[in-house]
Amino acid sequence: MSLSLPTYGRSFPGRSFKNWEVTAPDWHNRAVPRRAVVATAAQVRRLHRPGFMTGTPARVLIVDDDEVVTETFARILRLEGHQVRTALSAESGLREADASLPDAIILDLRMPLINGLGFLYRLRACEQHRATPVAIVTGDYCLDDTVSSELDQLGAEVHFKPIWLDDLVDLAHALLTPNRRPTRRQASLPN
């Protein structure tokens, strides 16, 4: 399958967009329409997403007690071609993880009753979820070192809110990339 990238009347020397550049042979001074660049970037991402060649969309679970955040994240990742399930609490997230067996989980740290750390302990206790990639997206900038080291041992990457939508897409892609670097805990888990 070949990808045809549109060319426009302006070049951006030194500006790389996901390993390709927007260039044009004629160097006119027309502005590049933003929606065309965004659409082309989305086309490139779709070609490189997990499951593209097999036609199987990646399954992503989003667990966050803020419904607006959850739905925004879900909408963006669905536009990227992922199959997204959501949960508004850790308990429902654990049930959803058991039912849907997600390929990746995006999780909030601060939730009522069971927080993200409690969710991770329960998730990693299940054999089928020990290697599932998890990213914590939190607004808590004051994580102490013990919590950070526990999250690292449980195999979770920590990212801070606010998170730009492009960063969310990149985060999901990184979680779903088969050759991503395993954390120390995941590398030491028995098969």
| Helix boundaries (H) for 64-176 | 67-79, 90-100, 116-125, 145-153, 165-176
Q: Please state the pTM of the whole predicted model.
A: 0.66
Alpha-carbon span 124 to 133, nearest angstrom: 11
The pLDDT tens digits of the residues spanning 133-156 come to 999 998 888 778 888 888 888 888
- Reference 63, options 108, 98, 97, 102; nearest CA is 108
Higher pLDDT, 48 or 129: 129
The pLDDT tens digits of the residues spanning 83-104 come to 999 999 999 999 999 999 999 9
CA 32 and chain centroid, separation: 28
Domain boundaries, the chain: 1-48, 59-188
The top-level CATH class assigned to 59-188 is alpha beta
**Amino acid found at 139:** G
Average pLDDT over residues 98-112: 93
Alpha-carbon span 107 to 80, nearest angstrom: 19
Alpha-carbon span 164 to 175, nearest angstrom: 16
